[in-house]
Structure 1
Amino acid sequence: MSDQIKHECGIAFIRLLKPLSFYQEKYGTALYGLNKLYLLMEKQHNRGQDGAGIATIKLDVKPGHRYISRYRSMAQNAVADIFGYVQGKFADIQNETPELMQDAEWLKQNVSFIGEVLLGHLRYGTHGQNSIENCHPFLRQNNWMTRNLVIAGNFNMTNVDELLEQLYELGQHPKEQADTVTVLEKIGHFLDDENQELFDTYKKEGLSNVEITAKISQNLNIANILTRSAKNWDGGYAISGIVGNGDAFILRDPSGIRPAYFYQDDEIVVAASERPAIQTAFNVGINSVQEIKPGHALIVKKDGTVTQEIFREPQEKRACSFERIYFSRGSDADIYKERKQLGRLLIDQILTAVNSDLKNTVFSFIPNTAEISFYGLVEGVHKHIKKIQKETLIERKENLTDAELDELLSMAPRVEKLAIKDVKLRTFITADADRKEMVAHVYDTTYGVIKNDVDTLVAVDDSIVRGTTLKQSIIKIIDRLHPKKIIIVSSAPQIRYPDCYGIDMSKLGQFVAFEAAIQLLKERGLEHIIEEVYQKCKASLLLPKEEIVNHVKDIYRPFKQEEISAQITKIITPADTVAQVEVIYQTLDNLHIACPNHTGDWYFSGNYPTPGGNKVVNKAFVNWKEGSNQRAY
């Protein structure tokens, strides 16, 4: 992606189902769980670089001994920093009494972070301050073991104000207005309720407090707690939590917006945001890793019982398509195929744009995440060439000269790596003019492979959000190669609407497609539409969110996709560009063909899967119109 945007987060959960001594004997280390947690987190490093954190819980610890450990970091390489800190707990033991490293029970009793339940999180902040307090896991502490709660998640709620009001009505006073706090406190409240109800029940039966504590630990109804907690949540979420006694859960929103996968056998239960992370860390096949169903929670009780239970009625599945296009690693088998298909499906539009002149067309991509789509595009070009060769041989087999036959059989797509990202370059200069000069050199190029004023250069990007890097860097650099034409191809459709479920795309004014539509309205004397949409959006904010519709669609309604693409081309083309420039976008129909199981496309179509999404998009338009730089949720 030429425009880097923050997004998502990553979760990693492990529950060891055997005693630690089992892993010591079978795998040679009592640190088996910690080692696997490190792998799970590193293999999802793409999901968060603003910070990270881990928490562990020891099962069946005697009173008076610590059983919850947590450590969070905002270091440049936070995962390595965390596990370096944890490894430090064992340094003296390894040096002074190495035999104790073989004693799993001693390690559990005497060293923090050695436990059976482990939770990790990688953070990409979509808003707010980037501080250690914003790093997951979050901890809600209590002297009652079964009232302690640890949570970490990949989530954004659209109705934080509403959820906060409900907490006020419950008598709570949250310390800040954030969805992380509301989620933690909401679950914590109903966890307290469940504890109290069970306590009262067992007290009436005449049990002692010690006996009651054990009974509560056995009989906490996690599904009931989650059902009551999530009743009014509106958003996309995959949230993992651990109760102090060792009960654990991973829940997924009813529309399946955010991804969540799990694997289990007789030794372990593991969950993560991405399937390949589990496959790699535990060396298991693709069919062994399952998705957590929308509206379901994977629940692991302290006794090791594993169930998947409904906590919210599942809705139509609208899994995030941006996960497939860009965010998740392409090492997932299905994602790899889908990204290649996204590239193949662009062939017809590209052939039209180059007038089918493949001899004078060079194909390249904008590193690094567009590479897989590029492979699919090249395969599509090969297929097109074979079709030409076959048809020509059939039609002209009797009168083809040797020279014509040689030329026909030598046809192949011209493929070059022209855009090279200089990852070492840092735009540390603060003055705007100087910063723009530095940004212009974030990408470098390969010289000597373009025929001056003859070749058309087709460069594939996986998506275009703001278009600033294209304008300030990429187009300028490749224009120095003197192509006749530059075609920027987005394997994703036009991004027209804000996201409110975990991606850092919350402000309409930052989208080049929105900017293009506004310019077209003004150029064509349709400015009244802008005012009408503003009035509709502002009035809608007084309605219950369930009654709100997306009025921002009216901004785009007068125009065909090609018209907006043409206007985007004008916006992102630097004034001194010599080559002709054209921008081509994937169509929505082709997106759904390529990613049939991930139909969440609200940032392209404006069709939000939850009522809160419509409220957010209208609020975002109001903010833009009024010049407010605030987030819309």
Structure 2
Amino acid sequence: MCGILGVVGQSPVNQLLYDGLQLLQHRGQDAAGIVTAHNKTFHMHKGSGMVRDVFRTRNMRSLQGNAGIAHVRYPTAGSAANLAEAQPFYVNSPFGIVLAHNGNLTNTDELKADMFRHDLRHINTNSDSEVLLNVFAHELAINVTGYELSVEAVFKAIEGVHRRVKGAYAVVALISGYGLVAFRDPNGIRPLVIGSHDHHGRTEYMFASESVALDCSGFSLLRDVEPGEGIFVSFDGHFEARQCAERIRHAPCLFEFVYFARPDSVIDGASVYQARLAMGERLAEKVRQVVPELDIDVVMPIPDTSRPSALQLANALGLPYREGFIKNRYIGRTFIMPGQGVRKKSVRQKLNPVACEFRGRNVLLVDDSIVRGTTSREIVQMARDAGAKKVYFASAAPAVRFPNVYGIDMPTRAELLATGRTEEEIAREIGADAVIYQDLEALMHAVNAAAPSLQVFETSCFDGNYITGDITEAYLNAIECARMGPRSTVESRDEEGSSQLVDLNLNVAEQNLI
């Protein structure tokens, strides 16, 4: 999971892109990058870490131009320590092109082979985003007539991408001397919204993973980029859009609404906050079934994502809502932290119980989801240590039993807590008196209530049904083996046996690309 931005403005956009990335920081804390376009020159700066750490004043000054794209990276397997895979990526043929991508391709190996054997293009990293860039560049090259780029060639190139590429992708790209391109996969798995702003009588455009980046930047939400749609905005602000896929099906990722998106965002026409409130109402119905005697004294959220659901659940059950855990806001998300040991340790650093809210009470803890269960186990134990008599644990999402192959770095099936376990066994694993999961149909109805036009969703991590239709048992086995196999870096051991990773990639933090 990543966050992407693209802007075509009438004045310098470096500050807009920086501010927008900070608003999308929740979508990735591993690396950040910005590219701006000034005349026919690209200016790039990217690096590892949070947005505030990657960009200094001197970097911002060098990012000249009235158009640009930006990216924050979520650490997926194999990329967390590799600056060479930080985005945006660049190629110089047939034109200078930079691209940022959110999602994950599912036929990357096949595309790499085609790139090498037929398209005669070299892929320098393990990133599927670099593959996607080269596919787009090649399709653009074969559709260009003469030396000038036409809008028709851009849309034909996007059509070619849709024919060749499988998986999830929301994309923003710049073509040197021409303009900005945005497109989304034919299933619309990953979100991408469009905003506009009037600047002295001329329209500026912004594309973003979530609407919150538009709102706080002074842009008005126009609409979502449609599944399969291609959009071209010239550097002078001319906007053109076209459907570029033969078959489309709008099936956004359900986990966006459960966990990733900010509650103040609107994506695919649905208010994330309203969807989470509805999740709480639906979950209350399930709690009544599982705990019919309702021997619950208080409802508490696991901060922050589950707050709307927990609040509405408490209202629906007529129970007190309390903040039982105080969050240290300077600790990153444990779900996306690499390494079980680091994740377990950080839970205690991130959350601290308010003992008086637990002592002598039966508490219902509400979280957005349960993935590995490490965090849940630690939280339940903290509640008991603080004096809770009984601890019930409710999840606003169904049991996560399958890997997500569309851009969320979920672990192998063997690492997922719910795989092969009943709810009673899961409760024993995390030390709870009972575990209550949202039903999948109820979750879909909750999001549908916020956006009635949404009828189909990408739900693979819950039910194993992969919307693109190309995911086999062999594919899942291969990616699980890759997660557990050798890393892309060289691993050595020091004299005390601790692991040290030596990165063999050349790290280039700042570039001027012409």
TM interval, short-chain normalised = 0.7 to 0.9
Find out whether 1:135 has 2:86 as its counterpart: yes
Q: 3-state SS of the aligned residue for 2:163?
A: coil
| Correspondence list, 1:246-285, <5 A | 246-265=178-197, 266-284=202-220
1:489 aligns with 394
| Cα separation, partners in 2 of 1:79 and 1:235, compared to 1, 3 Å | farther
Q: 3-state SS of the aligned residue for 2:63?
A: coil
| Cα separation, partners in 2 of 1:14 and 1:83, compared to 1, 3 Å | farther
2:116 aligns with 168
1:404 aligns with none
Find out whether 1:590 has 2:442 as its counterpart: yes
Could you tell me how far 1:448 is from its partner in structure 2?
2.4
**Greater Cα radius of gyration, structure 1 or 2:** 1
Could you tell me how far 1:187 is from its partner in structure 2?
1.5
Query: Structure 1, residues 177-230: CA drift from partner, whole Å, max 9, x if none?
Result: 4312211211122223334xx22xxxxxxxxxxxxx4xx145662001121233
Total equivalences in the alignment:
466
Q: Is the 8 A contact 2:8 2:204 kept in 1?
A: yes
TM-score by length of 1: 0.68
Q: 3-state SS of the aligned residue for 1:153?
A: strand
Please point out which of 48, 66, 85 is paired with 2:58.
85
Find out whether 1:46 has 2:26 as its counterpart: yes
Query: Structure 1, residues 427-482: CA drift from partner, whole Å, max 9, x if none?
Result: 9xxx9999967755653211123453xx32100000000101222x2111111233
| Cα separation, partners in 2 of 1:282 and 1:511, compared to 1, 3 Å | same
Q: 3-state SS of the aligned residue for 1:504?
A: coil
Q: What amino acid maps onto 2:54 in structure 1?
A: D
Q: Distance in 2 between matches of 1:153 and 1:496?
A: 26
| Correspondence list, 1:224-235, <5 A | 224-235=156-167
Find out whether 1:566 has 2:424 as its counterpart: yes
Q: Is the 8 A contact 1:153 1:240 kept in 2?
A: yes
Query: Structure 1, residues 234-283: CA drift from partner, whole Å, max 9, x if none?
Result: 11110111111122211101000000000235320110000121122115
Q: 3-state SS of the aligned residue for 1:479?
A: helix
Q: What amino acid maps onto 1:377 in structure 2?
A: L
Q: Distance in 1 between matches of 2:216 and 2:342?
A: 43
| Cα separation, partners in 2 of 1:361 and 1:117, compared to 1, 3 Å | same
Query: Structure 1, residues 21-70: CA drift from partner, whole Å, max 9, x if none?
Result: xxxxxxxxxx4x222222211111111111111111123x5xxxxx2111
Q: Distance in 2 between matches of 1:433 and 1:341?
A: 35
Larger relative helix fraction = 1
Q: Is the 8 A contact 1:294 1:314 kept in 2?
A: no
| Cα separation, partners in 2 of 1:432 and 1:350, compared to 1, 3 Å | closer
Q: Is the 8 A contact 1:365 1:374 kept in 2?
A: yes
| Cα separation, partners in 2 of 1:113 and 1:436, compared to 1, 3 Å | closer
Q: 3-state SS of the aligned residue for 2:484?
A: coil
Find out whether 1:178 has 2:121 as its counterpart: no
Q: What amino acid maps onto 1:445 in structure 2?
A: P
2:3 aligns with 10
Q: Distance in 1 between matches of 2:50 and 2:413?
A: 32
| Cα separation, partners in 2 of 1:292 and 1:350, compared to 1, 3 Å | same
1:318 aligns with 251
Q: What amino acid maps onto 1:154 in structure 2?
A: N
| Cα separation, partners in 2 of 1:36 and 1:435, compared to 1, 3 Å | closer
1:106 aligns with none
Q: Is the 8 A contact 2:358 2:383 kept in 1?
A: no
Q: Distance in 2 between matches of 1:147 and 1:450?
A: 62
TM-score by length of 2: 0.83
Q: Distance in 2 between matches of 1:417 and 1:479?
A: 16
| Cα separation, partners in 2 of 1:245 and 1:623, compared to 1, 3 Å | closer
| Cα separation, partners in 2 of 1:449 and 1:86, compared to 1, 3 Å | closer
| Cα separation, partners in 2 of 1:361 and 1:166, compared to 1, 3 Å | same
Q: Distance in 2 between matches of 1:443 and 1:188?
A: 47
| Correspondence list, 1:17-416, <5 A | 18=10, 20=11, 31=12, 33-59=13-39, 67-74=41-48, 76-79=49-52, 81-82=54-55, 84-87=57-60, 89=61, 112-129=62-79, 130-141=81-92, 147-170=95-118, 171-195=120-144, 198-199=145-146, 213=147, 216-217=148-149, 221-265=153-197, 266-284=202-220, 288-332=221-265, 334-357=271-294, 361-382=297-318, 413-416=319-322
Could you tell me how far 1:627 is from its partner in structure 2?
11
Larger relative strand fraction = 2
Moved more, 582-591 or 313-322: 313-322
> Percent sequence identity over matched residues?
25
Q: 3-state SS of the aligned residue for 2:98?
A: strand
Query: Structure 1, residues 405-448: CA drift from partner, whole Å, max 9, x if none?
Result: xxxxxxxx222222233456799xxx999996775565321112
Q: 3-state SS of the aligned residue for 1:324?
A: helix
Q: What amino acid maps onto 2:253 in structure 1?
A: C
Alpha-carbon RMSD: 2.8
Could you tell me how far 1:301 is from its partner in structure 2?
2.9
Could you tell me how far 1:175 is from its partner in structure 2?
2.9
1:394 aligns with none
Q: Is the 8 A contact 2:181 2:231 kept in 1?
A: yes
Q: What amino acid maps onto 2:320 in structure 1?
A: R
Q: 3-state SS of the aligned residue for 1:339?
A: helix
Q: Is the 8 A contact 2:36 2:65 kept in 1?
A: yes
Q: What amino acid maps onto 2:367 in structure 1?
A: D
Q: Distance in 1 between matches of 2:396 and 2:228?
A: 30
Could you tell me how far 1:346 is from its partner in structure 2?
1.3
2:509 aligns with none
Q: What amino acid maps onto 1:569 in structure 2?
A: A
2:353 aligns with 445
Q: Is the 8 A contact 1:262 1:289 kept in 2?
A: yes
Could you tell me how far 1:581 is from its partner in structure 2?
1.3
Q: Distance in 2 between matches of 1:432 and 1:120?
A: 30
| Cα separation, partners in 2 of 1:236 and 1:437, compared to 1, 3 Å | closer
1:107 aligns with none
Which runs of no fewer than 5 residues in structure 1 stay unpaired? 1-7, 21-30, 62-66, 90-111, 200-212, 383-412, 517-563, 574-579
Q: 3-state SS of the aligned residue for 1:414?
A: coil
| Cα separation, partners in 2 of 1:224 and 1:463, compared to 1, 3 Å | same
Q: Distance in 2 between matches of 1:341 and 1:515?
A: 29
Q: What amino acid maps onto 2:30 in structure 1?
A: D
Q: Distance in 1 between matches of 2:374 and 2:68?
A: 41
Q: Distance in 2 between matches of 1:368 and 1:331?
A: 13
2:433 aligns with 581
Could you tell me how far 1:374 is from its partner in structure 2?
1.1
Q: Distance in 1 between matches of 2:346 and 2:33?
A: 33
Q: 3-state SS of the aligned residue for 2:401?
A: coil
Which runs of no fewer than 5 residues in structure 2 stay unpaired? 449-453, 487-514
Q: What amino acid maps onto 1:47 in structure 2?
A: R
Q: What amino acid maps onto 2:4 in structure 1?
A: I
Q: 3-state SS of the aligned residue for 1:595?
A: helix
Q: 3-state SS of the aligned residue for 2:78?
A: coil
